[in-house]
Amino acid sequence: MTKINTMEYMIENGEKFARKCTHCNKPTNQVYIVNDGDEYYCSDECLHENYTPKKWARMYENEVGYWTSFDDGGEVADDEVQFIKYGDQLIEL
Ligand SMILES: [Zn+2]
């Protein structure tokens, strides 16, 4: 018997994520943000595929780029959740 999960069930029981990496599409809650959300990067590797460390340092200085964590102290705030990961499915809310 195949069990079919409803969207509601998956959203309720899935893992909550605030953002998705622009480079590798991995959902993430610790993220580099470029231009207030034009681009997101989940890791140094993904970030530096697109910006050199030197370039990033300059962006950071100019407040064009920064790093943030959406799940400090536990879960992501409901109003920041944009993706739900359930098994290998990624649901965009
Ligand atoms: Zn990535």
Alpha-carbon span 30 to 49, nearest angstrom: 17
How far away, in angstroms, is 6 Cα from ligand 1 center? 28
Q: If you search the block for the tokens 């370039």, which residue do you land on?
A: 55
Alpha-carbon span 16 to 20, nearest angstrom: 11
How far away, in angstroms, is 30 Cα from ligand 1 center? 11
Q: Which helix (H) or strand (E) holds 13?
A: helix 7-13
| Residue range 1-13, pLDDT digits in tens | 667 789 899 999 9
How far away, in angstroms, is 27 Cα from ligand 1 center? 8
Domain coordinates of the chain in residue numbers? 7-92
How far away, in angstroms, is 44 Cα from ligand 1 center? 8
| Residue range 47-86, pLDDT digits in tens | 999 999 999 999 999 999 999 999 987 889 999 999 999 9
- In terms of pTM, does the model score above 0.75? yes
How far away, in angstroms, is 74 Cα from ligand 1 center? 22
Q: Which of 22-36, 38-52, 66-80 has the lowest mean pLDDT?
A: 66-80
